[in-house]
Amino acid sequence: MYNGPVDLYSEIVRIRERGEAAALATIVRRLGSTPRKDSAKMLIREDGTTLGSVGGGCVEAEVWQTARQVIRSGRAQLVRYELTEEDAENEGLVCGGTVEIFVEPIVPDPRLVILGAGHLGQAVCRLAAGVGFRITVIDDREAFANAERFPDAERILVRPLETALEGVEVGPATYLLIVTRGHRHDQIATEQAIRTAACYIGLVGSRRKIKLIVEALLEKGHPPERFRNLYAPIGIPIGSETPEEIAVSVVAELIAVRKGVHQRSPKQEFIQEYLGRSLAGQDLQASR
């Protein structure tokens, strides 16, 4: 157990609540003379600052570098460090031997913001809550956005879509799902979404409808780069038809994106290719 002067575990809780990432390094094995006892820990935040220690300069610089990789990849690493006599002399330590350190990612709970409280949003909420998403539901209709219809939602907001995301924390661990009741509302919600740092922006609808929305927002001056995290039409293709079936395909896609194994469907690639052509056209005009 960590017994240092810093409340390291409380800081981990705070980091996750803020939707940030970090890495935790723990000594799991040591042989010979090393500067710290087993189970010593160091927390490396996303901004590079640290709490705790796993032995000082002779290993911590390398642990810090490994932690940066772990934060980026989301995958743990077990690393082994040889503490030579030269290392000990350089750091002013009486130590040598071998230390093994387990560096694990500290990832925030994924947050899902559902823009639209209709039947599809309701079905997605039920399934997504069951796989660990913390859910916020937003709609401008109180008759739809309420605790009776969304008992699994952590937060329910009734407000105009034009201001839907005001005051809502949207970071790299946030997933936005746009399932409103019509084309105009979807465009309003999409315009709000592309201004955020969300890792996933899912938009329901046909390829034609999505292209029209993207075109309209490009014409309003939004650069193509803002659509890089757009996944549209939403869902993994499984032949789904009912709201419940579509919800299965959508939540499967959320999981795949979260795990880093998602591959866009041909329909989703179509929109990205269209955006790529738009970006290329802008670059051509700028070079003239």
Q: What is the DSSP string of 86-138?
A: HHHHHHT----EEEEEEEEEE-PPPEEEEE--SHHHHHHHHHHHHTT-EEEEE
Whether 191 is covered by a domain: the verdict is yes
Q: Which amino acid is at 188?
A: I
One domain, residues 121 and 249: yes
Burial 260-285 (b: 16+ CB within 10 A, else e): eebeebeebebbbebbeebbeeeeee
Is the pLDDT reported for residue 4 higher than 50?
no
Cβ(233)–Cβ(203) under 8 Å?
yes
Looking at the fold, whether 188 and 256 belong to one and the same domain comes out as yes
Size of the chain, expressed as the number of residues it contains? 288
Bond before 233 cis per omega within 30 degrees: yes
pTM listed for this prediction? 0.76
pLDDT of residue 95 exceeding 70, the answer is no
Please give the pLDDT value at position 159. Answer: 96
Kindly state whether residues 209 and 263 are assigned to the same domain. yes
pLDDT at 11: 93
In a domain, 127, yes or no: yes
pLDDT band at residue 39 using 50, 70 and 90 as cut-offs:
confident
pLDDT at 171: 85
48 and 172 in a common domain:
no
DSSP E strands in 159-225: the ranges are: 174-178, 200-203
Q: Are strands 111-115 and 174-178 parallel, antiparallel or unpaired?
A: parallel
Calpha distance 153→114 (Å, rounded):
10
Domain that holds residue 91: 8-106
Are residues 62 and 150 both part of a single domain? no
> Cα–Cα distance between 135 and 151 in angstroms, integer?
10
Specify the DSSP class assigned to residue 40. Answer: -
Return the number of other C-beta atoms located less than 10 Å from residue 81's C-beta.
22
CB contact at 8 A, 179 and 117: no
Q: Is the pLDDT of residue 122 over 80?
A: yes
Shared domain for 71 and 122, answered yes or no, is no
